[in-house]
Amino acid sequence: MLSRVSLLVFLSAVSGCASYTADYQERLIRSLPNQRDVTIHDSRSYPGKILCGSYSRLTSNGFTMHRGRFVVGEDMIIAAPSKEEVQVYCSKDSEQAFYDITGIGGPDIDWTALSTVRDDMLAIDAAITRYYDAAATLPAPLDKLLSGDYGVGTANLADPWGNAYHYEGGLSGRTVPQYQLRSYGADGLEGGSGPDADVSREQIQMLKHVLRIKGY
């Protein structure tokens, strides 16, 4: 039988979960292009204050029913998550799921180093956006970001193992520029797992989620 204190803690947790569940569902609905007759199905909470499930709604013609999955967190709404995103976010063990998919993590990993990779890549990503907004082109090379007030310094352009982040400018002339950014891990070589695993820009949000759960 639960003690009075344990029962109060349990009820508080359930109440808190219900509170953000309703908020998350409302945020998801507001994000959809057509908010008519949206129904949420099978929504469940996961570690890191994540809500996963599926939804159905009428399309713009008012007749066709669209169905899709969703992932909502404190700072994200994914109305059409990839298979990998569902595996990581909608898991009771996101750390293991992330490792199974990417090779990043494992028993010998330096999570402090990975938290630096996360911070650097988020800073570089924001700086590239500022640069692109000002110059209408991508920086080439990445050192161009040091020539103005873009929010990064020399330290941000090298990973925790002392290697320059690998950067390839892609397509300009778009609202959202396309480019590649990655760290090659502790060994500085492409490929590998655990400490030597590559970390790409596309994986940063999932890494951010795992690090949050682990307290980084």
Give the pLDDT confidence score for residue 9 in this predicted structure: 33
Cβ contact 61:77 at 8 Å: no
The answer to the question of residue 187 being in a domain is yes
pLDDT at position 62 is 64
Give how many domains the chain has, as a whole number.
2
Asked whether residue 3 is domain-assigned, the answer is no
Residue 140 lies in a domain: yes
Q: Are 184 and 166 in contact (CB under 8 A)?
A: yes
Q: Among 92, 125, 154, give the residue marking a domain's end.
A: 92
pLDDT 10s per residue in the chain (216 long)? 434 433 333 333 444 566 799 999 999 999 988 777 899 999 999 999 999 999 998 876 666 677 899 999 999 999 999 999 999 999 999 999 999 999 999 988 999 999 999 999 999 999 999 999 999 899 999 999 999 999 999 999 999 999 999 999 876 555 677 899 999 999 999 999 999 999 999 999 999 999 999 999
194 and 125 together in one domain: yes
Q: Which domain holds residue 165?
A: 101-214
Residue that is last in its domain, among 92, 111, 131:
92
Whether residue 160 sits in one domain with residue 75: no
Last residue of a domain, one of 64, 92, 120: 92
> pTM for the full model?
0.86
- Same domain for 111 and 208? yes
Statement to judge: residues 124 and 195 lie in one domain: yes
10 located within any domain: no
In a domain, 1, yes or no: no
159 and 58 fall within a common domain: no
